Structure 1
């Protein structure tokens, strides 16, 4: 009987040891302003005793040797703040990221045409919303005037850029929400008088990604005219998605013409 009791205790101990450790929740990243001219402040929050928050400023993976968060981060340059929570008794949290964008080097820009037009339910405040320097919320329904949405394979846009030659990058602020069938486009190409002066291809999305926004940066070669043509090719929803094979929605809330420092 004593032997059976000992075996029972060993089995219970083994089961207890086999239980996976609980994973910490990710910290919340709170930002004063996503777009800024001088400085902005990012705060990381997770209220749990003994938790250490660590971060990077370039979007790289956060590890046990990354900087320890000790207080609000005052930023004067564009950055992607990534953060994770660590605790000796729990699994590390998932990584969370938030991007902020300096407008210090921005140049005037207007959107004169988009074909096709945005979907009727996602017209925002019109094309002017794409150059008003106002960031939409991750919950796009909370800021309906900020986001413009397209369900199309191909989007063509015409941009009026009078400061030709003074800048070298076009930046698209995009939403990524796979659950709502919204993903960054597969390819963005930029043309000046029929000559391609820029292109950017995005990485294939993986399942389980968080709802987030991206700043898609398209480096530009020198150009001379006042008008740029933009070709946006939507991504086909991947095999793991419920809508596999259909074009993902494209959601834009801002386009910036800027100089990469």
Structure 2
């Protein structure tokens, strides 16, 4: 009789324990999808429109425009954003019964000055010529797919002389590039700019540490001078890292736009 009572108590205990694992607890372990983010254009002439959505009842989307991580104390997304200033927009979805989403990111850039001409010392690879010599200054950004015709691909150091009207003030140059490690496309190692054949400024970019990175990125170099010419030299990654299938070999460099502001 005592054995039967012990068995009943144990069955009741484990039965109650299973019931405690409610659907709510299970939902808390599941992460929301990223919110979808679109822009009418990522180069701002006068203004662009940014929209975000995640069609699920009870979802709230919050965003930031300075590159910081969104939280519930950030600005709530209620309707389309009309943007006239460049920024790094991040969106994140929240729901009371689910884990918050990962961040969706979108960068928008101020339309820059169009150079008088570019004298290319290095030609793009014949397989990835973009839309010709003016692709990198046509005020168009590319999509993530490296086959987008707004990408120009190089497998060597890039050199070009950029010419402007006399005494054109240039605050900065922004070089947009693609990171697609599975396709052997890596960030530039160094970007060097010689201003008016005298002063040199340069910048390095961070190396990807993950084996599968797919991202749009850029590097900005301050000029802050009146210029007539800029000599630009951009070095591709000369040796792929140890973790990569092509370790020791040089990487591809893909760029979509040089923006002179």
User: Greater Rg, structure 1 or structure 2?
Assistant: 2
The farther-off stretch of 90-99 and 194-203 is 194-203
RMSD: 2.6
Deviation at 1:88, TM superposition (A): 1.4
In the other structure, the counterpart of 1:232 is 234
Measure how far apart 1:19 and its partner are: 8.5
* Residue of 136, 147, 150 corresponding to 1:130: 136
How big is the shift at 1:52?
0.7
- Structure 2 residue aligned with 1:67: 75
Q: Is 1:108 matched with 2:115? A: yes
After TM superposition, give the deviation of residue 114 of structure 1 in Å: 3.8
Pick closer, same or farther for the CA change 1:18–1:128 going to 2, 3 Å. Answer: closer
Q: 58, 62, 84: which one pairs with 1:50?
A: 58
What are the ranges of 5 or more consecutive residues in structure 2 without an aligned counterpart? Answer: 1-6
2:11 paired with 1:2: no
The list of structure 1 runs, each at least 4 consecutive aligned residues, that deviate by more than 6 angstroms after superposition, is none
Q: In 1, are the aligned partners of 2:182 and 2:213 still within 8 Å (CA)?
A: no
Aligned residue pairs total 252
CA distance in 1 between counterparts of 2:11 and 2:166 reads: 83
- What secondary structure does 1:162 align onto? strand
- TM-score using structure 2 length: 0.85
- The structure 2 residue matched to 1:119, chosen from 114, 125, 133, is 125
User: What displacement does 1:245 show?
Assistant: 3.8
Tell me, in whole angstroms, the C-alpha distance in 1 between the residues paired with 2:103 and 2:248. Answer: 29
Which consecutive unaligned segments of at least 5 residues does structure 1 have? none
